[in-house]
Amino acid sequence: MATILDGKKLRDKILAGLKNGLDKLDKKPQLVVILVGDDPASKIYVNNKKKTAEKLGIISQIINYPSDVTEQELLARIKELNDDDSVTAILVQLPLPEHINKDNVMNAITPAKDVDGFTPANFGKLFSGQQPHVYPCTPKGILLLLDEYNIEIAGKHAVIIGRSNIVGKPLAQMLLNRNATVTICHSRTKNLADITKTADIVVSAVGGKIIEENMLKNDCIVVDVGIFKDETGKTRGDVNFEYASKVASYITPVPGGVGPMTITSLMLNTVELFKEKLSPAARGILEVSGVLDE
Protein backbone atom coordinates (compact mmCIF):
# COMPACT_ATOMS: atom_id res chain seq x y z
CA MET A 1 0.00 0.00 0.00
CA ALA A 2 1.16 3.52 -0.82
CA THR A 3 2.34 5.94 1.85
CA ILE A 4 -0.09 8.85 2.19
CA LEU A 5 1.36 12.30 1.44
CA ASP A 6 -0.36 14.09 4.29
CA GLY A 7 -0.99 17.72 3.32
CA LYS A 8 -2.82 18.56 6.53
CA LYS A 9 0.03 17.44 8.73
CA LEU A 10 2.60 19.42 6.76
CA ARG A 11 0.27 22.44 6.64
CA ASP A 12 -0.05 22.43 10.43
CA LYS A 13 3.71 22.20 10.87
CA ILE A 14 4.52 25.00 8.42
CA LEU A 15 1.77 27.34 9.64
CA ALA A 16 2.84 26.87 13.28
CA GLY A 17 6.34 27.98 12.28
CA LEU A 18 4.95 30.96 10.37
CA LYS A 19 2.73 32.05 13.25
CA ASN A 20 5.62 31.83 15.63
CA GLY A 21 7.66 34.21 13.46
CA LEU A 22 4.78 36.61 12.78
CA ASP A 23 3.85 36.80 16.49
CA LYS A 24 7.23 38.37 17.19
CA LEU A 25 6.73 41.24 14.75
CA ASP A 26 4.91 44.54 15.35
CA LYS A 27 4.07 45.12 11.69
CA LYS A 28 1.82 42.60 9.95
CA PRO A 29 1.27 41.72 6.29
CA GLN A 30 -2.08 42.48 4.67
CA LEU A 31 -3.57 40.12 2.09
CA VAL A 32 -6.43 41.46 -0.04
CA VAL A 33 -8.50 38.94 -1.97
CA ILE A 34 -10.77 40.09 -4.80
CA LEU A 35 -13.71 37.83 -5.52
CA VAL A 36 -16.02 38.54 -8.44
CA GLY A 37 -19.48 36.93 -8.48
CA ASP A 38 -20.92 34.24 -6.24
CA ASP A 39 -19.46 30.95 -7.47
CA PRO A 40 -19.95 28.67 -4.41
CA ALA A 41 -16.59 26.88 -4.74
CA SER A 42 -14.68 30.15 -5.12
CA LYS A 43 -16.48 31.57 -2.07
CA ILE A 44 -15.39 28.60 0.04
CA TYR A 45 -11.77 28.87 -1.16
CA VAL A 46 -11.64 32.59 -0.51
CA ASN A 47 -13.17 32.32 2.96
CA ASN A 48 -10.65 29.59 3.83
CA LYS A 49 -7.83 31.84 2.71
CA LYS A 50 -9.07 34.68 4.92
CA LYS A 51 -9.65 32.44 7.95
CA THR A 52 -6.22 30.85 7.67
CA ALA A 53 -4.54 34.24 7.26
CA GLU A 54 -6.29 35.65 10.31
CA LYS A 55 -5.24 32.70 12.47
CA LEU A 56 -1.64 33.62 11.70
CA GLY A 57 -2.11 37.30 12.45
CA ILE A 58 -2.09 38.29 8.77
CA ILE A 59 -4.55 41.12 8.16
CA SER A 60 -6.96 39.97 5.49
CA GLN A 61 -9.96 41.33 3.63
CA ILE A 62 -12.16 40.01 0.87
CA ILE A 63 -13.46 42.53 -1.65
CA ASN A 64 -16.54 40.98 -3.22
CA TYR A 65 -17.83 42.41 -6.49
CA PRO A 66 -21.06 41.40 -8.23
CA SER A 67 -20.58 39.32 -11.40
CA ASP A 68 -21.52 42.31 -13.60
CA VAL A 69 -18.72 44.54 -12.32
CA THR A 70 -16.91 46.30 -15.16
CA GLU A 71 -13.30 45.57 -16.00
CA GLN A 72 -12.56 49.26 -15.59
CA GLU A 73 -13.84 49.25 -12.04
CA LEU A 74 -11.70 46.23 -11.16
CA LEU A 75 -8.61 47.77 -12.73
CA ALA A 76 -9.16 51.02 -10.83
CA ARG A 77 -9.44 49.11 -7.55
CA ILE A 78 -6.27 47.13 -8.24
CA LYS A 79 -4.44 50.39 -8.91
CA GLU A 80 -5.59 51.72 -5.54
CA LEU A 81 -4.41 48.55 -3.82
CA ASN A 82 -1.05 48.75 -5.64
CA ASP A 83 -0.62 52.31 -4.31
CA ASP A 84 -1.71 51.49 -0.74
CA ASP A 85 1.40 50.79 1.36
CA SER A 86 -0.59 48.90 4.00
CA VAL A 87 -1.55 46.26 1.41
CA THR A 88 1.32 43.81 0.90
CA ALA A 89 -0.36 41.03 -1.12
CA ILE A 90 -3.13 41.02 -3.74
CA LEU A 91 -4.98 37.94 -5.02
CA VAL A 92 -7.71 37.99 -7.68
CA GLN A 93 -9.64 34.72 -7.39
CA LEU A 94 -9.98 32.89 -10.70
CA PRO A 95 -11.97 32.19 -12.79
CA LEU A 96 -13.35 35.65 -13.63
CA PRO A 97 -16.61 36.22 -15.56
CA GLU A 98 -16.23 36.07 -19.34
CA HIS A 99 -16.77 39.77 -19.98
CA ILE A 100 -13.63 40.56 -18.01
CA ASN A 101 -10.27 40.12 -19.70
CA LYS A 102 -8.29 38.05 -17.19
CA ASP A 103 -4.98 39.09 -18.76
CA ASN A 104 -5.69 42.79 -18.29
CA VAL A 105 -6.52 42.12 -14.64
CA MET A 106 -3.37 40.07 -14.01
CA ASN A 107 -1.24 42.64 -15.83
CA ALA A 108 -2.57 45.35 -13.52
CA ILE A 109 -1.24 43.80 -10.29
CA THR A 110 2.15 45.14 -9.30
CA PRO A 111 4.58 42.16 -9.35
CA ALA A 112 5.84 42.86 -5.81
CA LYS A 113 2.27 42.30 -4.48
CA ASP A 114 1.39 39.43 -6.82
CA VAL A 115 0.95 36.68 -4.24
CA ASP A 116 -0.01 34.07 -6.88
CA GLY A 117 3.05 34.68 -9.06
CA PHE A 118 0.69 35.01 -12.04
CA THR A 119 1.71 38.41 -13.43
CA PRO A 120 3.76 38.34 -16.64
CA ALA A 121 6.81 39.62 -14.77
CA ASN A 122 6.75 36.83 -12.20
CA PHE A 123 5.63 34.13 -14.64
CA GLY A 124 8.25 35.23 -17.16
CA LYS A 125 10.98 35.14 -14.53
CA LEU A 126 9.98 31.61 -13.56
CA PHE A 127 10.20 30.46 -17.17
CA SER A 128 13.48 32.22 -17.89
CA GLY A 129 15.26 30.85 -14.85
CA GLN A 130 15.21 34.11 -12.88
CA GLN A 131 13.90 34.43 -9.34
CA PRO A 132 10.25 35.62 -9.28
CA HIS A 133 8.91 37.42 -6.19
CA VAL A 134 6.99 34.22 -5.42
CA TYR A 135 6.17 30.87 -7.06
CA PRO A 136 2.54 29.89 -7.88
CA CYS A 137 0.83 28.36 -4.85
CA THR A 138 -0.34 24.92 -5.97
CA PRO A 139 2.93 23.88 -7.67
CA LYS A 140 4.90 25.24 -4.72
CA GLY A 141 2.71 23.27 -2.30
CA ILE A 142 3.23 20.07 -4.31
CA LEU A 143 7.01 20.48 -4.20
CA LEU A 144 6.95 21.21 -0.45
CA LEU A 145 4.98 18.00 0.06
CA LEU A 146 7.33 15.87 -2.09
CA ASP A 147 10.34 17.38 -0.29
CA GLU A 148 8.82 16.66 3.13
CA TYR A 149 8.77 12.96 2.25
CA ASN A 150 12.31 13.15 0.77
CA ILE A 151 11.07 12.17 -2.68
CA GLU A 152 13.84 12.60 -5.23
CA ILE A 153 12.79 14.61 -8.29
CA ALA A 154 15.98 14.82 -10.39
CA GLY A 155 16.01 12.32 -13.22
CA LYS A 156 12.41 11.22 -12.68
CA HIS A 157 9.86 11.23 -15.49
CA ALA A 158 7.06 13.51 -14.30
CA VAL A 159 3.81 13.38 -16.26
CA ILE A 160 1.48 16.31 -15.63
CA ILE A 161 -2.11 16.09 -16.85
CA GLY A 162 -3.49 19.61 -17.31
CA ARG A 163 -1.87 22.67 -18.90
CA SER A 164 -3.39 25.54 -16.91
CA ASN A 165 -1.48 28.66 -15.90
CA ILE A 166 -2.47 27.92 -12.29
CA VAL A 167 -1.02 24.40 -12.04
CA GLY A 168 0.22 22.51 -15.11
CA LYS A 169 2.47 25.05 -16.80
CA PRO A 170 4.23 26.50 -13.74
CA LEU A 171 4.58 23.05 -12.16
CA ALA A 172 6.22 21.74 -15.34
CA GLN A 173 8.79 24.52 -15.20
CA MET A 174 9.42 24.06 -11.47
CA LEU A 175 9.95 20.30 -11.93
CA LEU A 176 12.23 21.03 -14.86
CA ASN A 177 14.21 23.40 -12.64
CA ARG A 178 14.62 20.44 -10.29
CA ASN A 179 15.94 18.31 -13.17
CA ALA A 180 12.91 16.11 -13.80
CA THR A 181 12.06 14.96 -17.32
CA VAL A 182 8.63 16.50 -17.85
CA THR A 183 5.71 15.57 -20.09
CA ILE A 184 2.58 17.73 -20.16
CA CYS A 185 -0.63 15.97 -21.25
CA HIS A 186 -3.99 17.64 -21.91
CA SER A 187 -7.42 17.13 -23.42
CA ARG A 188 -6.03 16.51 -26.93
CA THR A 189 -3.33 14.04 -25.83
CA LYS A 190 -3.62 10.67 -27.55
CA ASN A 191 -3.12 7.38 -25.69
CA LEU A 192 -2.86 8.98 -22.25
CA ALA A 193 -2.46 5.60 -20.51
CA ASP A 194 0.62 4.78 -22.61
CA ILE A 195 2.23 7.94 -21.29
CA THR A 196 1.13 7.71 -17.64
CA LYS A 197 2.41 4.10 -17.54
CA THR A 198 5.93 5.47 -18.13
CA ALA A 199 5.67 8.05 -15.33
CA ASP A 200 7.65 7.97 -12.09
CA ILE A 201 5.57 10.93 -10.87
CA VAL A 202 1.99 11.51 -12.07
CA VAL A 203 0.24 14.80 -11.34
CA SER A 204 -3.38 15.11 -12.41
CA ALA A 205 -4.95 18.57 -12.38
CA VAL A 206 -8.12 18.24 -14.43
CA GLY A 207 -11.26 17.85 -12.30
CA GLY A 208 -12.69 14.60 -13.70
CA LYS A 209 -12.14 10.85 -13.51
CA ILE A 210 -8.73 10.64 -15.21
CA ILE A 211 -6.54 7.95 -13.66
CA GLU A 212 -8.21 4.56 -13.78
CA GLU A 213 -7.01 0.95 -13.53
CA ASN A 214 -3.94 -0.11 -15.51
CA MET A 215 -2.75 3.46 -16.08
CA LEU A 216 0.08 3.54 -13.53
CA LYS A 217 3.52 2.00 -13.17
CA ASN A 218 4.32 0.10 -9.97
CA ASP A 219 5.79 2.27 -7.21
CA CYS A 220 5.09 5.57 -8.96
CA ILE A 221 4.21 8.72 -7.02
CA VAL A 222 0.69 10.07 -7.49
CA VAL A 223 -0.31 13.67 -6.87
CA ASP A 224 -4.00 14.41 -7.27
CA VAL A 225 -4.87 18.10 -7.68
CA GLY A 226 -8.47 17.51 -8.83
CA ILE A 227 -11.38 17.88 -6.45
CA PHE A 228 -15.05 17.50 -7.29
CA LYS A 229 -18.19 15.70 -6.19
CA ASP A 230 -19.09 12.45 -7.99
CA GLU A 231 -22.63 11.25 -8.96
CA THR A 232 -23.23 10.10 -5.38
CA GLY A 233 -22.16 13.44 -3.90
CA LYS A 234 -18.85 12.08 -2.58
CA THR A 235 -15.82 14.39 -2.75
CA ARG A 236 -13.09 12.78 -4.85
CA GLY A 237 -10.08 13.59 -6.99
CA ASP A 238 -9.01 12.77 -10.56
CA VAL A 239 -7.47 9.49 -9.44
CA ASN A 240 -9.21 6.19 -8.69
CA PHE A 241 -7.76 6.09 -5.18
CA GLU A 242 -8.61 2.49 -4.43
CA TYR A 243 -6.63 1.30 -7.45
CA ALA A 244 -3.80 3.83 -7.28
CA SER A 245 -3.09 3.40 -3.58
CA LYS A 246 -2.36 -0.30 -4.23
CA VAL A 247 0.07 0.39 -7.08
CA ALA A 248 1.84 3.62 -6.09
CA SER A 249 4.59 4.11 -3.51
CA TYR A 250 3.23 7.51 -2.43
CA ILE A 251 -0.14 9.15 -3.03
CA THR A 252 -1.98 12.32 -2.01
CA PRO A 253 -5.49 11.84 -0.61
CA VAL A 254 -8.44 14.01 -1.70
CA PRO A 255 -9.30 15.89 0.41
CA GLY A 256 -6.28 16.41 2.65
CA GLY A 257 -3.40 16.31 0.16
CA VAL A 258 -2.74 19.15 -2.27
CA GLY A 259 -5.59 21.45 -1.09
CA PRO A 260 -4.11 22.26 2.33
CA MET A 261 -0.70 22.75 0.70
CA THR A 262 -2.04 25.36 -1.74
CA ILE A 263 -3.32 27.47 1.12
CA THR A 264 -0.08 26.93 3.03
CA SER A 265 1.87 28.23 0.05
CA LEU A 266 -0.40 31.26 -0.16
CA MET A 267 0.44 32.09 3.46
CA LEU A 268 4.15 31.52 2.79
CA ASN A 269 3.96 33.74 -0.28
CA THR A 270 2.14 36.46 1.67
CA VAL A 271 4.95 36.48 4.21
CA GLU A 272 7.60 36.26 1.48
CA LEU A 273 6.29 39.47 -0.17
CA PHE A 274 6.05 41.19 3.24
CA LYS A 275 9.60 40.13 4.08
CA GLU A 276 10.89 42.17 1.15
CA LYS A 277 9.69 45.30 2.98
CA LEU A 278 11.21 44.51 6.38
CA SER A 279 14.44 45.58 8.02
CA PRO A 280 17.19 42.91 8.04
CA ALA A 281 16.58 42.33 11.79
CA ALA A 282 12.85 41.71 11.36
CA ARG A 283 13.55 39.52 8.37
CA GLY A 284 15.88 37.51 10.58
CA ILE A 285 13.03 36.80 13.01
CA LEU A 286 10.99 35.28 10.20
CA GLU A 287 13.93 33.31 8.89
CA VAL A 288 14.50 31.72 12.31
CA SER A 289 11.15 30.03 11.89
CA GLY A 290 12.87 28.07 9.13
CA VAL A 291 10.11 27.96 6.59
CA LEU A 292 10.90 30.70 4.12
CA ASP A 293 13.67 29.05 2.17
CA GLU A 294 12.66 27.86 -1.26
Output the smallest distance, CB 115 to ligand GUN, in A. Answer: 8
Quote the CA–CA distance of 199 and 181 in Å, as a whole number: 10
Q: Is 251 in the site for ligand GUN (CB under 6 A)?
A: no
Q: Is 94 in the site for ligand GUN (CB under 6 A)?
A: yes
Q: How far is residue 149 from each of residues 9, 42, 144, 253, 260, measured CA to CA in Å?
A: 12, 30, 9, 15, 16
Q: Is 122 in the site for ligand GUN (CB under 6 A)?
A: no
- DSSP three-state, residue 294: coil
Active site residue 293: no
Active site residue 200: no
Q: Is 32 in the site for ligand GUN (CB under 6 A)?
A: no
Q: Is 238 in the site for ligand GUN (CB under 6 A)?
A: no
Q: Is 227 in the site for ligand GUN (CB under 6 A)?
A: no
Quote the CA–CA distance of 182 and 219 in Å, as a whole number: 18
Active site residue 93: yes
Q: For residues 56 and 92, which CB has a smaller minimum distance to ligand GUN in the complex?
A: 92
Site residues for ligand GUN, 156-215, by CB under 6 A, read 166
The backbone torsions φ and ψ at residue 266, rounded to the nearest 5 degrees and listed phi first, read -60, -40
Q: For residues 196 and 269, which CB has a smaller minimum distance to ligand GUN in the complex?
A: 269
Quote the CA–CA distance of 106 and 119 in Å, as a whole number: 5
The helix (run of H) or strand (run of E) holding residue 279 is none
Helix 137-148 / helix 7-23 crossing angle, nearest 10 deg = 100
The helix (run of H) or strand (run of E) holding residue 36 is strand 30-36
Quote the CA–CA distance of 278 and 292 in Å, as a whole number: 14
Among 137, 206, 221, 263, binds ligand GUN (CB under 6 A): 137
Q: 101, 133, 106, 167: which is closest to 268 by C-alpha?
A: 133
Q: Is 153 in the site for ligand GUN (CB under 6 A)?
A: no
Q: Is 138 in the site for ligand GUN (CB under 6 A)?
A: yes
Among 5, 74, 91, 106, binds ligand GUN (CB under 6 A): 91
Which residues of this chain interact with ligand GUN, rule CB under 6 A?
Answer: 91-94, 116, 137-138, 166
Q: Which residues are catalytic?
A: 49, 93, 116
